[in-house]
Structure formats: structure tokens, C-alpha cells
Amino acid sequence: MTEYIEYDLLIVGSGIAGLRAAIESAKQNDTLRIAVISKVQVMRSHSVSAEGGTAAVLFENEGDNMESHIYDTIKGSDFLADQDVAEKLCLEIPKEIYQLEHWGMPWSRRKDGKIAQRNFGGYSYPGATYASDKVGFFEMQTLYDTCLKFDNIEFFNEWYVTSIIHDDKKFLGVTAIEISTGAFYTIKGTALIIASGGAGRMYSYSTYALSSTPDGLDMAYRAGMALKDMEFVQFHPTGILPSGILITEGARGEGGYLLNNNGERFMKQYAAEKMELAPRDIVSRAIMTEITHNRGFIHETGVQCMQLDLRHIGDDILKEKLGAIREISFKFSNIDPAKEPLYIRPVCHYMMGGIHTNIDGATELQGVWAAGEAACNSIHGANRLGANSTSECMVWGKITANMAVNYIANAQSESQFPHHLVDAEEKRIYDGIFRGGGKMNPYEIREKLTGILNDKAYVYRKESELIDGLKKIRELRNTSWRRVDDHAQEYNTNFINVMELDSMFRVAEVILLGATYRKESRGSHARIDYPHRDDNNFLHHTLVYYDINDPIMKKHPVTITKYKPVERKY
């Protein structure tokens, strides 16, 4: 039996984008009833894991300039970014850096007292504004503290949102499970902001929190919204072995070297100008090429890898600027980075794709916006530059909030609420999953699914492998895995895990389909069988719509304002 509650604005997700949206909404209208709904406690949102920085031009009088940030972002995207969106990001983010400071953000400082910035891959100037190597944690703490000052923001911690309710034209509410009690709710609302983050736990080797599954993407997909550019998955060059935990790009920004088994800084062969600070897609491909040519190391777990050398930086600087990395190295690899190199390998780190939105974060369903990594407003194109992700979360958290508040103020009378859709969703998840008769172990199926993506859609791809991966995903999906052994009501994480797997199947299919149909190499999507970028045939975004039989694929134009695509060299 579903229970009904109602708010004006629903925000699904409590990371940087969600919290920034909540603050802006509450500032704009203190009578709005705002619900922030998250399947984890706020400060366990994956945004706390961001390490290296937030990109912004702060000191134009010192050589950096807005145009360089815009062009670096577009070039880094391999010219698939919508250029008007990239420009909007770069123009707006400096205001957000100072706004965070006014709210209490402890930015690292230069000796002259100004906010410090470090080098990051693909940038012409040091533009990553940082707080040691814990920028995400400090940004989240600052935003959460600020949220608590507003009486009209209410947090729904540990609630799992399962679907979007609409009348084919506009948003009307969501369905959700309160994890602590197992109760099933319908939360009515006038507007929705989806800020549910990325979905990198679809890969077996990943920097993401275990909660980073594609629930938000899937509920938008099932509600008729397109997923865009999902073939573009970013692999960060430096995931520490064996865990895959992120070693921030800031480690290379502070001077770290990448070494092969000959002791060579091999990036001179691939990006002589930028070396270790080339964009992530280029560095990841370089690492995998070195490994292919037997110039890598064999980790004690048997995995082939390369080395990240920080010894020359010195223990004092490591403690001051890379303290978290130093701690991670000790705890998860039993290595002191001041004395020994770290073993690293490219690891799933970010989804350039997401829910299709316009420049203002609006989706194709009236009353619904998306912000942060869950959204694809096409800032990042085929490859994101490091430190632009937290920038995007801040900027579009604010933008989507303003749009949603204005929409709510002008909303027309409510449509007839489609209770039959709530009933259908309740039947789908309880009869189809909770009381399912599956014979297979869903955790083993999940492990196989993540392994397929890691094997078939990794740094280098080819058609035969992608098609094989798609076939295997579909075969797995058709096995009898819908089974929940734990029938408790309270904190039934077994139920939630199997619900996550249900979403993972649909979104994994979209990733593999997009990668199969894009017969070129662009940014993070590197095809062995189509090694060159093909602007004549593939300078477009990929849209995928849900259909009960097979996904429907469409093309969407790239917005090019003044930067014509050229060969991408570093």
C-alpha cells in the first residue's frame, strides 16, 4: 500500500549539484517546500570523494584568461562539447568559487594569501582551485552546513527513488522506498531536479562509491527521456592497485611522474608538450599502449600496470598538498609514496553521458531538470577535463534551481494524478523483483555484468568485442536473477541491490549500443578498428530512448559557435 506526501520541489541526489540546487531554491523562495531525497546519508554522497580541484579562471591579470578555459574545455572534449554550454560554465564558475569561500570553504592559499590553484591535465594555465586533496569533502561540508540554515529544506536520507510519475507531458511526482522501514511512498511535486550522480559501479574496476549505480539515469530513461552520449566513459589514468581508489590528477599536477618498466617517463612519446598533464583519455591510452608492448609491471595480484612516482616531490609537500593520497597509499597499498612508486592502472571514473538536457539543464519532460554527472548538457563532449566536474555541479545546481523555482511560481493547476502508474510501479518492483522467483544469485550476475563492461568497453574497444559484450549482457538479463532472499521490511539492502541491478542492465545496454554504433575514435571512445576521428559522419551526439523491445537511437547536433574542429595535439 503506497503512502502519499507532497512537496513543491523534489531534488533526487545529495551531492554537490543537489545541495547547491537546494540552497539556491531556498534562497529564491523561503516558502517553497523542498525535499532532498538520497539513498545515502548526505555526507556519504560520492561528491565527498572528489580530490584534486574545481576549475575556474580567478586571476586573469596573471596570464590566465577566460578564453583559454573555454577553448581548453572544448579541445579536451575532442570538439564534441556544445560550445555555448562550455562558455557558460567558464563564465559562471568564478562566482561560485567566491560564493563557496563566503560560506566557509577552506580553500588552500598561496603565500600572498590568495586562493591557490594547481596544474591539471589539458589546461593552458594552473586553474584547479583546491583544498589540499580533499576538495569534494570540504565543498560538501560547506554546502551541507549552509543547507542547514534554511528551514524549508528537508532531507530524506536513505530513501530509494524508483520511478518518475508524469502524464506524458509534465512531471507530477516520484515513487520511493524508505529504506529504514521498507514503506513505499508516492511523493508528489511540481518540479524535479535529478542530481543522482554517475553510474561507474557498472564497471568492476572503478573509483566510485558502491552507491554509484544508474538509478537516476534509468528512471529518467523509463520515463521517456533520452540518455545522451553514454558511450563516452572516462577512465582516469591513476587508479591505485588493487582497490581502484582514485589517485588524484593533483598528484601529477604537483609534479608526479608516470614510469614504465624501463624507468622512462613514457608520456614524452604520446604528448611531448604536456607529458603527464595531457588530458585523461590520452594518458589512459598511453598507459594501455605501454602495457600492450610489455613495458608495464606485473602487480602482486597479477594485474598489469604502470608506476606513479612521487618520491622526488618530498614528504613535506606530500603531507601538505596530497595528505589524503599519502594516507590512501599507506592504507590500501601499504606503500609510503615518499619512498616507493605507486602501482596504477586506468580506472572507470566518470560518465560524460547522462540525461539529455539543454543549456539550462531542462530535460524533455516539462518540470524536470538534471544537474551534475547525472545530466548531459554536453559540456564535456567525448572527454572531460579534470576539475570541470565539480565546477559543473556548482554552476548547474544553481541554474536548475532558478529554473525550477520560476516554473513552480508559474505552474498551472494540477493534472489528474495517474494513480494507475503508481500501482504499476508497485507491481513492477514488488511482484517482479521483491517476490521474484529467480534461481540465479543476483550478486553473481552483477559481478558478471560489471566484468563484461570492464572487458568489452574499456580504454580500447573494437566492434566484435562490443557486440559480444552486448550479447552477453542481454543473455544475462534474460536469466532468472530477479530474486530477493531477505524479506525483511527494515533496511533490506538485498532488495535495493537487486533493484540497482535491474537499472544496471538497461543502462549497460545503452553504453554498449552507443559504442558499437560510433564507428570512430573520439576522446574517451577509442576504437581499434576505427582509429581516427570522423567529423563527416560522427560529429553529433547520440540519443537513446527506451522502448520495451529495443532501444531507439537518434542523432543530435553539436553546437559549434566559433571553434571549428581541428586535430587534437598536446
Instruction: Report, as residue numbers or ranges, the catalytic residues.
Output: 236, 252
Grid cell 616507493 in the structure block, residue: 340
Helix (H) or strand (E) holding 479: none
The SS3 of residue 128 is: strand
d(CA 558, CA 536) in angstroms, rounded, equals 13
d(CA 411, CA 190) in angstroms, rounded, equals 8
What angle separates helix 463-477 from helix 493-517, to the nearest 10 degrees?
150
d(CA 191, CA 91) in angstroms, rounded, equals 27
d(CA 208, CA 234) in angstroms, rounded, equals 12
d(CA 64, CA 115) in angstroms, rounded, equals 14
The SS3 of residue 199 is: coil
d(CA 568, CA 155) in angstroms, rounded, equals 45
d(CA 135, CA 117) in angstroms, rounded, equals 12
Closest CA to 118 of 265, 284, 251, 280: 251
d(CA 477, CA 483) in angstroms, rounded, equals 13
Q: Give yes or no for a contact between 510 and 554, defined as CB atoms under 8 angstroms apart.
A: no
Task: Give the distance from CA 41 to its chain's centroid.
Answer: 18
Helix (H) or strand (E) holding 248: none
Q: List CB contacts of 253: < 8 A, sequence separation 6 or more.
A: 52, 53, 118, 119, 120, 121, 126, 128, 277
Helix and strand counts by DSSP (H, E) for the chain: 15, 24
HSE-up (13 A, CA, CB side) for residue 374:
36
Alpha helices in 306-437 (DSSP H): 315-321, 323-333, 388-409, 419-426
211-to-30, 46, 133, 191, 494 alpha-carbon distances in Å: 31, 8, 22, 25, 13
d(CA 483, CA 504) in angstroms, rounded, equals 16
d(CA 98, CA 115) in angstroms, rounded, equals 10
Paired sense of beta strands 191-194 and 128-129, if any: unpaired
